[in-house]
A = this chain, B = another copy of it.
Amino acid sequence: MTLQTEATQPAGLESLLSRRARHVGSDPLLQGMDRVGQRISFIFGFPDPASLPADEVASTTADVLRERGRAALQYGDNAGYSGLIDALIAKLARDQGIEAKRDNILITAGGSQALDLLLDALVDWGDTIVSEMPTWLGAVQAFRNVGANIVSIPVDHQGIDVAVLARELGRLRDMGVTPKFIYANANFQNPTGATMSRRRRQELLALARSANTLLIEDDAYFDLRYEGEPLPTIYSLDHDGTVVYMGTLSKTMGPGMRLGWIVGPPELVRRVSALKVDGGTNVFGAHVAADWLPERLLPHVQRLREVYRRRRDLMIAALEQHMPPGSTWTVPDGGFFIWVTLPEEIDTKRMHPQVQELGVEYLPGPACFAEGTGANQLRLSYSFVEDDLIEPGIRVIGEVAAAELREARGAV
Protein backbone atom coordinates (compact mmCIF):
# COMPACT_ATOMS: atom_id res chain seq x y z
CA MET A 1 0.00 0.00 0.00
CA THR A 2 2.77 2.41 0.91
CA LEU A 3 4.43 2.09 -2.48
CA GLN A 4 1.15 2.59 -4.27
CA THR A 5 0.24 5.67 -2.22
CA GLU A 6 3.57 7.43 -1.92
CA ALA A 7 3.06 8.87 -5.35
CA THR A 8 -0.07 10.74 -4.32
CA GLN A 9 1.01 12.01 -0.92
CA PRO A 10 2.90 15.22 -0.19
CA ALA A 11 6.53 14.67 0.72
CA GLY A 12 6.85 13.72 4.35
CA LEU A 13 3.19 13.07 5.11
CA GLU A 14 3.95 9.47 6.04
CA SER A 15 6.32 10.66 8.74
CA LEU A 16 3.65 12.96 10.21
CA LEU A 17 1.04 10.23 10.57
CA SER A 18 0.16 8.64 13.90
CA ARG A 19 0.63 4.92 14.50
CA ARG A 20 -3.11 4.59 14.03
CA ALA A 21 -3.06 6.17 10.59
CA ARG A 22 0.06 4.32 9.43
CA HIS A 23 -1.50 1.10 10.68
CA VAL A 24 -4.96 1.53 9.21
CA GLY A 25 -6.25 -0.67 6.38
CA SER A 26 -5.86 0.84 2.95
CA ASP A 27 -9.59 1.18 2.29
CA PRO A 28 -12.50 2.81 4.09
CA LEU A 29 -15.03 0.17 5.18
CA LEU A 30 -17.93 1.84 3.39
CA GLN A 31 -17.41 3.40 -0.02
CA GLY A 32 -19.36 3.58 -3.25
CA MET A 33 -22.67 3.54 -1.37
CA ASP A 34 -24.26 5.45 -4.25
CA ARG A 35 -23.91 2.23 -6.24
CA VAL A 36 -25.05 -0.20 -3.55
CA GLY A 37 -28.00 -2.25 -4.79
CA GLN A 38 -26.75 -2.63 -8.34
CA ARG A 39 -25.82 -6.18 -7.36
CA ILE A 40 -27.75 -8.78 -5.38
CA SER A 41 -25.86 -7.84 -2.25
CA PHE A 42 -25.65 -10.23 0.68
CA ILE A 43 -22.55 -8.38 1.84
CA PHE A 44 -23.49 -5.81 4.49
CA GLY A 45 -25.77 -5.67 7.50
CA PHE A 46 -27.97 -3.08 5.86
CA PRO A 47 -31.68 -2.94 6.74
CA ASP A 48 -34.37 -3.46 4.12
CA PRO A 49 -34.62 -0.15 2.20
CA ALA A 50 -38.37 -0.48 1.62
CA SER A 51 -38.97 -0.76 5.37
CA LEU A 52 -37.18 2.45 6.32
CA PRO A 53 -39.80 4.77 7.89
CA ALA A 54 -39.24 7.76 5.60
CA ASP A 55 -42.81 9.13 5.89
CA GLU A 56 -42.84 8.84 9.68
CA VAL A 57 -39.45 10.54 9.93
CA ALA A 58 -40.60 13.34 7.63
CA SER A 59 -43.72 14.10 9.68
CA THR A 60 -41.88 13.77 12.99
CA THR A 61 -39.17 16.11 11.71
CA ALA A 62 -41.76 18.73 10.75
CA ASP A 63 -43.29 18.57 14.25
CA VAL A 64 -39.92 18.71 15.98
CA LEU A 65 -38.71 21.71 14.00
CA ARG A 66 -41.98 23.54 14.61
CA GLU A 67 -41.98 22.81 18.34
CA ARG A 68 -38.29 23.14 19.19
CA GLY A 69 -36.32 23.95 16.06
CA ARG A 70 -34.09 26.30 18.03
CA ALA A 71 -32.86 23.41 20.18
CA ALA A 72 -32.75 20.80 17.41
CA LEU A 73 -30.51 23.00 15.24
CA GLN A 74 -28.29 24.23 18.10
CA TYR A 75 -25.29 22.61 19.80
CA GLY A 76 -26.11 19.79 22.22
CA ASP A 77 -24.73 18.14 25.33
CA ASN A 78 -21.67 15.92 24.91
CA ALA A 79 -23.78 13.16 26.50
CA GLY A 80 -26.53 13.52 23.90
CA TYR A 81 -30.00 15.09 23.78
CA SER A 82 -31.70 14.56 27.15
CA GLY A 83 -35.06 13.91 25.48
CA LEU A 84 -33.61 10.95 23.58
CA ILE A 85 -31.87 9.71 26.71
CA ASP A 86 -35.21 9.74 28.54
CA ALA A 87 -36.95 7.92 25.68
CA LEU A 88 -34.18 5.32 25.77
CA ILE A 89 -34.45 4.86 29.52
CA ALA A 90 -38.12 3.93 29.03
CA LYS A 91 -37.36 1.65 26.06
CA LEU A 92 -34.50 -0.14 27.84
CA ALA A 93 -36.64 -0.78 30.92
CA ARG A 94 -39.58 -2.00 28.84
CA ASP A 95 -37.74 -4.19 26.33
CA GLN A 96 -34.27 -4.99 27.65
CA GLY A 97 -34.92 -5.25 31.38
CA ILE A 98 -32.29 -2.56 31.85
CA GLU A 99 -32.82 -0.04 34.64
CA ALA A 100 -30.73 2.97 33.68
CA LYS A 101 -30.51 6.57 34.85
CA ARG A 102 -29.45 9.54 32.75
CA ASP A 103 -25.86 9.33 33.97
CA ASN A 104 -25.62 5.71 32.78
CA ILE A 105 -26.28 6.66 29.15
CA LEU A 106 -24.23 8.25 26.38
CA ILE A 107 -25.77 8.89 22.96
CA THR A 108 -23.37 8.00 20.14
CA ALA A 109 -23.27 8.21 16.34
CA GLY A 110 -24.47 4.63 15.95
CA GLY A 111 -22.95 1.53 17.48
CA SER A 112 -19.83 2.19 15.43
CA GLN A 113 -18.96 5.39 17.27
CA ALA A 114 -19.96 3.75 20.56
CA LEU A 115 -17.25 1.13 20.10
CA ASP A 116 -14.83 3.73 18.77
CA LEU A 117 -15.29 5.88 21.89
CA LEU A 118 -14.92 2.89 24.22
CA LEU A 119 -11.67 2.00 22.47
CA ASP A 120 -10.40 5.57 22.92
CA ALA A 121 -11.33 5.45 26.59
CA LEU A 122 -9.93 1.99 27.33
CA VAL A 123 -7.18 0.99 24.92
CA ASP A 124 -3.63 2.25 24.61
CA TRP A 125 -1.51 1.00 21.73
CA GLY A 126 -0.51 -2.62 22.39
CA ASP A 127 -3.11 -3.24 25.12
CA THR A 128 -4.78 -6.64 25.15
CA ILE A 129 -8.48 -7.10 24.48
CA VAL A 130 -10.57 -10.27 24.19
CA SER A 131 -13.19 -10.76 21.50
CA GLU A 132 -15.44 -13.39 20.03
CA MET A 133 -14.04 -14.51 16.70
CA PRO A 134 -15.47 -14.39 14.09
CA THR A 135 -17.09 -11.06 14.90
CA TRP A 136 -18.41 -7.84 13.33
CA LEU A 137 -15.91 -6.72 10.67
CA GLY A 138 -16.19 -3.12 11.89
CA ALA A 139 -15.01 -4.24 15.31
CA VAL A 140 -12.10 -6.13 13.78
CA GLN A 141 -11.07 -2.96 11.94
CA ALA A 142 -11.62 -0.69 14.96
CA PHE A 143 -9.55 -3.02 17.19
CA ARG A 144 -6.73 -2.94 14.62
CA ASN A 145 -6.90 0.83 14.26
CA VAL A 146 -6.05 1.36 17.93
CA GLY A 147 -3.27 -1.22 17.91
CA ALA A 148 -5.03 -3.65 20.23
CA ASN A 149 -3.52 -7.06 20.86
CA ILE A 150 -6.57 -9.22 20.11
CA VAL A 151 -7.16 -12.52 21.91
CA SER A 152 -9.75 -14.45 19.89
CA ILE A 153 -12.36 -16.75 21.42
CA PRO A 154 -14.34 -19.10 19.17
CA VAL A 155 -18.13 -19.07 18.91
CA ASP A 156 -20.35 -22.16 18.66
CA HIS A 157 -24.13 -22.52 18.31
CA GLN A 158 -24.56 -21.40 21.92
CA GLY A 159 -22.34 -18.34 21.56
CA ILE A 160 -18.88 -17.61 22.91
CA ASP A 161 -16.96 -20.72 23.97
CA VAL A 162 -16.63 -20.11 27.70
CA ALA A 163 -14.24 -23.04 28.19
CA VAL A 164 -11.74 -21.51 25.79
CA LEU A 165 -12.41 -18.09 27.30
CA ALA A 166 -11.66 -19.38 30.82
CA ARG A 167 -8.42 -20.95 29.56
CA GLU A 168 -7.32 -17.80 27.73
CA LEU A 169 -8.14 -15.53 30.68
CA GLY A 170 -6.10 -17.86 32.88
CA ARG A 171 -3.20 -17.70 30.46
CA LEU A 172 -3.35 -13.90 30.46
CA ARG A 173 -3.52 -13.85 34.26
CA ASP A 174 -0.41 -16.02 34.43
CA MET A 175 1.29 -13.52 32.13
CA GLY A 176 0.20 -10.68 34.43
CA VAL A 177 -2.02 -9.21 31.70
CA THR A 178 -5.49 -7.82 32.47
CA PRO A 179 -7.44 -7.48 29.22
CA LYS A 180 -9.14 -4.08 28.84
CA PHE A 181 -12.45 -5.77 27.99
CA ILE A 182 -14.21 -8.79 26.51
CA TYR A 183 -16.33 -7.99 23.42
CA ALA A 184 -19.35 -10.16 22.62
CA ASN A 185 -22.80 -10.26 20.98
CA ALA A 186 -25.33 -12.25 23.01
CA ASN A 187 -28.12 -12.13 20.41
CA PHE A 188 -27.89 -13.30 16.76
CA GLN A 189 -24.14 -12.87 16.81
CA ASN A 190 -22.53 -11.06 13.92
CA PRO A 191 -21.57 -12.99 11.77
CA THR A 192 -22.57 -16.46 12.98
CA GLY A 193 -26.17 -15.70 13.96
CA ALA A 194 -25.63 -17.68 17.18
CA THR A 195 -27.58 -16.68 20.29
CA MET A 196 -25.88 -17.11 23.62
CA SER A 197 -27.71 -19.43 26.01
CA ARG A 198 -28.77 -18.12 29.42
CA ARG A 199 -26.14 -20.32 31.04
CA ARG A 200 -23.40 -18.97 28.76
CA ARG A 201 -24.45 -15.41 29.56
CA GLN A 202 -24.07 -16.09 33.26
CA GLU A 203 -20.74 -17.86 32.80
CA LEU A 204 -19.40 -15.10 30.54
CA LEU A 205 -20.35 -12.46 33.12
CA ALA A 206 -18.73 -14.46 35.93
CA LEU A 207 -15.54 -14.89 33.91
CA ALA A 208 -15.34 -11.19 33.06
CA ARG A 209 -15.88 -10.32 36.71
CA SER A 210 -13.23 -12.72 37.99
CA ALA A 211 -10.79 -11.34 35.42
CA ASN A 212 -11.46 -7.81 36.74
CA THR A 213 -12.22 -6.62 33.25
CA LEU A 214 -15.21 -5.08 31.49
CA LEU A 215 -17.64 -6.94 29.27
CA ILE A 216 -18.81 -4.99 26.23
CA GLU A 217 -22.20 -6.43 25.28
CA ASP A 218 -22.93 -5.21 21.74
CA ASP A 219 -26.64 -5.85 21.25
CA ALA A 220 -27.29 -4.17 17.90
CA TYR A 221 -29.91 -6.73 16.84
CA PHE A 222 -31.81 -7.12 20.12
CA ASP A 223 -35.13 -5.83 18.77
CA LEU A 224 -35.08 -8.17 15.79
CA ARG A 225 -35.83 -11.51 17.46
CA TYR A 226 -38.48 -13.39 15.48
CA GLU A 227 -38.11 -16.85 16.98
CA GLY A 228 -37.55 -18.36 20.42
CA GLU A 229 -38.02 -16.79 23.83
CA PRO A 230 -36.16 -13.59 24.67
CA LEU A 231 -33.20 -14.10 27.01
CA PRO A 232 -32.07 -11.56 29.61
CA THR A 233 -29.44 -9.07 28.50
CA ILE A 234 -26.15 -9.71 30.26
CA TYR A 235 -26.30 -6.10 31.48
CA SER A 236 -29.50 -6.94 33.38
CA LEU A 237 -27.72 -9.86 35.11
CA ASP A 238 -24.87 -7.62 36.24
CA HIS A 239 -24.92 -5.77 39.55
CA ASP A 240 -21.41 -4.37 39.89
CA GLY A 241 -20.68 -2.36 36.78
CA THR A 242 -18.89 -5.08 34.82
CA VAL A 243 -21.03 -4.78 31.69
CA VAL A 244 -21.05 -1.92 29.19
CA TYR A 245 -24.09 -2.28 26.95
CA MET A 246 -24.18 -1.00 23.35
CA GLY A 247 -27.31 -0.48 21.29
CA THR A 248 -28.32 1.29 18.09
CA LEU A 249 -31.25 2.55 16.03
CA SER A 250 -29.45 1.49 12.85
CA LYS A 251 -31.29 -1.80 12.52
CA THR A 252 -34.73 -0.37 13.33
CA MET A 253 -35.33 3.35 12.70
CA GLY A 254 -32.51 3.45 10.16
CA PRO A 255 -28.70 3.63 9.95
CA GLY A 256 -28.91 7.08 8.36
CA MET A 257 -29.97 8.47 11.73
CA ARG A 258 -26.51 7.50 13.04
CA LEU A 259 -27.78 7.07 16.57
CA GLY A 260 -26.67 4.51 19.10
CA TRP A 261 -25.91 4.43 22.79
CA ILE A 262 -23.67 3.16 25.54
CA VAL A 263 -25.16 2.11 28.88
CA GLY A 264 -22.55 1.73 31.58
CA PRO A 265 -21.09 2.83 34.91
CA PRO A 266 -21.56 6.61 35.38
CA GLU A 267 -17.84 7.17 35.80
CA LEU A 268 -16.99 5.47 32.50
CA VAL A 269 -19.84 7.27 30.73
CA ARG A 270 -18.61 10.60 32.10
CA ARG A 271 -15.02 9.98 31.00
CA VAL A 272 -16.06 8.93 27.52
CA SER A 273 -18.38 11.92 27.30
CA ALA A 274 -15.54 14.26 28.26
CA LEU A 275 -13.28 12.67 25.62
CA LYS A 276 -15.99 13.27 23.04
CA VAL A 277 -15.41 16.90 22.00
CA ASP A 278 -17.99 16.96 19.19
CA GLY A 279 -20.59 19.62 19.93
CA GLY A 280 -23.16 16.96 20.75
CA THR A 281 -24.07 13.80 18.85
CA ASN A 282 -26.17 14.41 15.78
CA VAL A 283 -28.46 16.85 17.61
CA PHE A 284 -30.98 17.25 14.77
CA GLY A 285 -31.42 13.51 14.30
CA ALA A 286 -31.51 12.92 18.05
CA HIS A 287 -34.47 15.29 18.46
CA VAL A 288 -36.33 13.50 15.68
CA ALA A 289 -35.55 10.08 17.14
CA ALA A 290 -36.63 11.19 20.62
CA ASP A 291 -40.12 11.89 19.29
CA TRP A 292 -40.26 8.87 16.96
CA LEU A 293 -39.14 6.28 19.52
CA PRO A 294 -41.91 6.16 22.15
CA GLU A 295 -44.90 5.49 19.85
CA ARG A 296 -43.35 4.32 16.59
CA LEU A 297 -40.58 1.87 17.46
CA LEU A 298 -42.63 -1.17 18.52
CA PRO A 299 -45.09 -1.24 15.59
CA HIS A 300 -42.19 -0.65 13.22
CA VAL A 301 -40.18 -3.49 14.78
CA GLN A 302 -43.22 -5.78 14.44
CA ARG A 303 -43.24 -5.13 10.69
CA LEU A 304 -39.50 -5.68 10.45
CA ARG A 305 -39.67 -9.03 12.23
CA GLU A 306 -42.09 -10.29 9.57
CA VAL A 307 -39.85 -9.10 6.74
CA TYR A 308 -36.66 -10.58 8.13
CA ARG A 309 -38.15 -13.88 9.27
CA ARG A 310 -39.52 -14.37 5.76
CA ARG A 311 -36.17 -13.56 4.18
CA ARG A 312 -34.29 -15.86 6.55
CA ASP A 313 -36.64 -18.70 5.60
CA LEU A 314 -36.26 -17.95 1.88
CA MET A 315 -32.47 -17.98 2.24
CA ILE A 316 -32.40 -21.21 4.25
CA ALA A 317 -34.57 -22.88 1.60
CA ALA A 318 -32.29 -21.60 -1.16
CA LEU A 319 -29.18 -22.81 0.67
CA GLU A 320 -30.66 -26.30 1.05
CA GLN A 321 -31.42 -26.27 -2.65
CA HIS A 322 -28.15 -24.87 -4.05
CA MET A 323 -25.19 -25.37 -1.71
CA PRO A 324 -22.79 -28.17 -2.60
CA PRO A 325 -22.75 -31.30 -0.42
CA GLY A 326 -20.63 -30.89 2.69
CA SER A 327 -21.72 -27.28 3.20
CA THR A 328 -23.25 -26.25 6.55
CA TRP A 329 -24.92 -23.05 7.74
CA THR A 330 -26.46 -21.53 10.84
CA VAL A 331 -30.18 -20.80 11.38
CA PRO A 332 -30.51 -17.57 13.42
CA ASP A 333 -33.46 -16.75 15.70
CA GLY A 334 -33.17 -13.11 14.69
CA GLY A 335 -30.92 -10.47 13.20
CA PHE A 336 -29.59 -10.35 9.65
CA PHE A 337 -26.95 -13.05 9.24
CA ILE A 338 -26.38 -16.64 8.18
CA TRP A 339 -22.86 -18.06 8.46
CA VAL A 340 -21.96 -20.62 5.82
CA THR A 341 -19.11 -23.12 6.04
CA LEU A 342 -18.20 -24.66 2.68
CA PRO A 343 -16.07 -27.73 2.04
CA GLU A 344 -12.45 -27.08 2.97
CA GLU A 345 -11.22 -26.99 -0.63
CA ILE A 346 -13.15 -23.79 -1.26
CA ASP A 347 -11.59 -20.34 -0.77
CA THR A 348 -14.46 -17.83 -0.43
CA LYS A 349 -12.14 -14.87 -1.04
CA ARG A 350 -10.77 -16.39 -4.23
CA MET A 351 -14.20 -17.27 -5.63
CA HIS A 352 -15.80 -13.90 -4.75
CA PRO A 353 -14.79 -12.07 -7.96
CA GLN A 354 -16.50 -14.74 -10.07
CA VAL A 355 -19.66 -14.39 -7.97
CA GLN A 356 -19.50 -10.60 -8.31
CA GLU A 357 -19.13 -10.88 -12.08
CA LEU A 358 -22.42 -12.75 -12.02
CA GLY A 359 -24.03 -9.84 -10.16
CA VAL A 360 -23.99 -11.21 -6.60
CA GLU A 361 -21.84 -10.44 -3.55
CA TYR A 362 -21.27 -11.81 -0.05
CA LEU A 363 -18.79 -11.23 2.76
CA PRO A 364 -15.84 -13.63 2.64
CA GLY A 365 -15.21 -15.21 6.06
CA PRO A 366 -11.69 -13.86 6.61
CA ALA A 367 -13.07 -10.30 6.94
CA CYS A 368 -14.67 -11.41 10.22
CA PHE A 369 -11.47 -12.84 11.76
CA ALA A 370 -8.64 -10.75 13.18
CA GLU A 371 -6.29 -13.52 12.02
CA GLY A 372 -7.77 -13.65 8.52
CA THR A 373 -8.79 -17.29 9.00
CA GLY A 374 -12.16 -18.68 7.89
CA ALA A 375 -11.03 -19.21 4.27
CA ASN A 376 -13.89 -21.62 3.46
CA GLN A 377 -16.56 -19.57 5.25
CA LEU A 378 -18.75 -16.64 4.30
CA ARG A 379 -21.39 -14.36 5.81
CA LEU A 380 -24.73 -13.85 4.12
CA SER A 381 -27.02 -10.95 5.02
CA TYR A 382 -30.63 -11.58 4.01
CA SER A 383 -31.75 -8.18 5.27
CA PHE A 384 -30.97 -6.06 2.22
CA VAL A 385 -32.14 -8.22 -0.70
CA GLU A 386 -35.73 -8.34 -1.87
CA ASP A 387 -37.55 -11.63 -1.42
CA ASP A 388 -37.58 -12.72 -5.05
CA LEU A 389 -33.85 -12.10 -5.54
CA ILE A 390 -32.69 -14.27 -2.64
CA GLU A 391 -33.03 -17.64 -4.40
CA PRO A 392 -31.37 -16.45 -7.65
CA GLY A 393 -28.52 -14.93 -5.66
CA ILE A 394 -27.91 -18.04 -3.59
CA ARG A 395 -28.08 -20.17 -6.73
CA VAL A 396 -25.19 -18.19 -8.23
CA ILE A 397 -23.08 -18.68 -5.09
CA GLY A 398 -23.93 -22.39 -5.01
CA GLU A 399 -23.02 -22.89 -8.66
CA VAL A 400 -19.69 -21.09 -8.39
CA ALA A 401 -18.90 -23.01 -5.20
CA ALA A 402 -19.75 -26.32 -6.87
CA ALA A 403 -17.50 -25.47 -9.82
CA GLU A 404 -14.68 -24.52 -7.44
CA LEU A 405 -15.13 -27.83 -5.69
CA ARG A 406 -15.03 -29.86 -8.90
CA GLU A 407 -11.89 -28.03 -9.97
CA ALA A 408 -10.24 -28.49 -6.56
CA ARG A 409 -11.05 -32.19 -6.63
CA GLY A 410 -9.61 -32.46 -10.12
CA ALA A 411 -12.95 -33.62 -11.50
CA VAL A 412 -13.03 -31.01 -14.25
Contacts and interface: CB of A to CB of B under 8 A. Distances in A.
A275 B24 contact: yes
| Max chain B Cβ within 10 angstroms of own Cβ: one of A127, A142, A254 | A254
A389 B47 CA distance: 49
Interface string A68-82: 011111111111001
A255 B33 contact: no
Contacts of A75: 30, 33, 44, 46, 250, 255-256
Given A75-B30, A181-B16, A271-B17, A258 B283 contact: yes
Contacts of A73: 52-54, 57, 253-257
Contacts of A12: 212
Interface residues on A, range: 35 or more
Given A213-B16, A214-B16, A267 B54 contact: no
B121 A28 contact: no
A112 interface: yes
A352 interface: no
A224 interface: no
B123 A282 contact: no
Contact of A74 (B20, B33, B123, B142): B33
A38 interface: no
B279 A112 contact: yes
B278 A27 contact: no
| Max chain B Cβ within 10 angstroms of own Cβ: one of A13, A240, A256 | A256
A29 interface: yes
A113 interface: yes
A265 B16 contact: no
B77 A256 contact: no
A304 to B, nearest CB: 13
A109 B70 contact: no
Contacts of A24: 271, 274-275
Contact of A20 (B25, B55, B121): B121
A141 interface: yes
A145 interface: yes
A290 to B, nearest CB: 12
Interface string A21-41: 100111111111110100000
A78 B28 contact: yes
Contact of A241 (B10, B65, B280): B10
Interface in A117-137: 120-125, 127
B124 A19 contact: yes
A341 interface: no
Interface string A218-243: 00000000000000000000001110
A116 B278 CA distance: 8
Given A30-B77, A66-B54, A256-B74, A282 B282 contact: yes
A109 B283 CA distance: 10
A-B pairs, 6 with minimum CB distance: A54-B69, A10-B241, A73-B254, A9-B267, A28-B78, A256-B283
Interface of A: 5, 8-13, 15-21, 24-34, 36, 44, 46-47, 49-50, 52-55, 57-58, 61-62, 65-66, 69-79, 82, 109-110, 112-113, 115-116, 120-125, 127, 138, 141-142, 145, 178, 180-181, 212-214, 240-242, 250, 253-258, 265-268, 270-285, 287-288
Given A28-B276, A258-B279, 13 more contacts: A8-B265, A13-B265, A16-B181, A19-B124, A20-B121, A21-B272, A46-B75, A47-B74, A50-B70, A62-B62, A73-B255, A116-B277, A255-B280
30 contacts: A9-B241, A9-B265, A10-B241, A11-B240, A13-B214, A18-B122, A18-B127, A21-B121, A29-B78, A29-B277, A30-B280, A31-B78, A33-B71, A33-B280, A50-B70, A54-B69, A57-B284, A62-B62, A73-B255, A109-B279, A109-B282, A145-B275, A255-B280, A255-B283, A256-B280, A256-B287, A257-B283, A258-B280, A258-B283, A284-B284
